Structure 1
Amino acid sequence: MNDKVIRITARSMIAILFLLSGVSKLTAPAVAMSYMADHSIPPMLVWPTIAFEIGAALALIGGFRLREVAFALAGFVLVAAALFHRDIADKVQLTMMLKNIAIAGGLILLAQSQSRIITTGK
């Protein structure tokens, strides 16, 4: 498999997480709003969250402004970890927080590797 196919596949594998999350919120916004309210987040933020998740996922897949989108998503998942998965005494919440940190790390690596591709052409 050539490098371009590998990069598109890898980006799509990361993007599917955000795409499905955004679509899930879009199809059941009341559930997402309730979850947000339970964590003292204004429920109306569900709409920009949906737009961001779906838009960023599509940008990742398409390679549009990849570096900026990857950094934005990394920040997004770190903020989500801090807001929604604070109870690290709960093993499930700790796992969710660590998952978000790992995803952010992968996104930062993606952004960095995109920077290398732009400057070296490889």
Structure 2
Amino acid sequence: MSNASIASEKAGLGAGGPALVLLGRVLLSVIFILAGYAKLTAIGGTAGWFASLGLPMPTATTVVVGLVELLGGLAILVGFQARIAALVLAVFTLAATAIAHLDFADQIQVMFLQKNLAIAGGLFVLAAFGAGALSVDGRR
């Protein structure tokens, strides 16, 4: 029995636990898959925004960030090396928040800050408990 299965049983989730973990992974992964794809298909625009933030080598940064988001999101979606992917994306999300979403005078940026903190929290939970039975990791 996997740690995720034991955790589900202890939490009283029973047979529905693996499905809830899968649903959580799907919901967490969507934002990263879409954001990564968007960056990789609009490199010039994203690089321009990154340059305005003062990030170094904005084009290369765009490609790296896009790949981290896309590949990390896909890893979480299918549950492949999900603990590692979740940790990478959690740290990435906190770093992105510190770089781009700390303008407390802008309510939109405050909302992005709160959203990102919640996403990072979900990713840390995923890193702690794993991808669950309905995953590539759970099949190994």
- TM-score (norm. length: structure 1): 0.87
Would you say how many aligned residue pairs link Structure 1 and Structure 2? 118
2:98, 2:90 → 1: CA distance? 13
| 1:76 and 2:92 are equivalent in the alignment | yes
Alignment correspondent of 2:122: 106
Structure with a larger share of its residues in helix: 1
Report the aligned-residue RMSD.
2.1
Report if the CA contact (8 A) 2:102-2:109 is conserved.
yes
- Measured against aligned partners, the alpha-carbon deviations of 1:67-92 in whole angstroms (never above 9, x if no partner) come to 11111111000000000112112111
Matching residue within 61, 81, 85 for 2:77 = 61
Alignment correspondent of 2:39: 25
- Measured against aligned partners, the alpha-carbon deviations of 1:36-68 in whole angstroms (never above 9, x if no partner) come to 111101212011111111110111011111111
1:111, 1:99 → 2: CA distance? 18
Alignment correspondent of 2:30: 16
Task: Quote the offset at 1:3 in angstroms.
Answer: 2.8
Rg comparison, structure with higher value: 2
1:41, 1:62 → 2: CA distance? 31
2:55, 2:100 → 1: CA distance? 9
2:20, 2:38 → 1: CA distance? 27
| 1:85 and 2:101 are equivalent in the alignment | yes
1:72, 1:20 → 2: CA distance? 17
**Moved >6 Å (runs of 4+):** none
Report if the CA contact (8 A) 2:90-2:119 is conserved.
yes
Amino acid at match of 2:50: M
Alignment correspondent of 1:45: 61
Alignment correspondent of 1:6: 20
Alignment correspondent of 1:94: 110
5+ residue gaps in structure 1?
none
Report if the CA contact (8 A) 2:83-2:130 is conserved.
yes
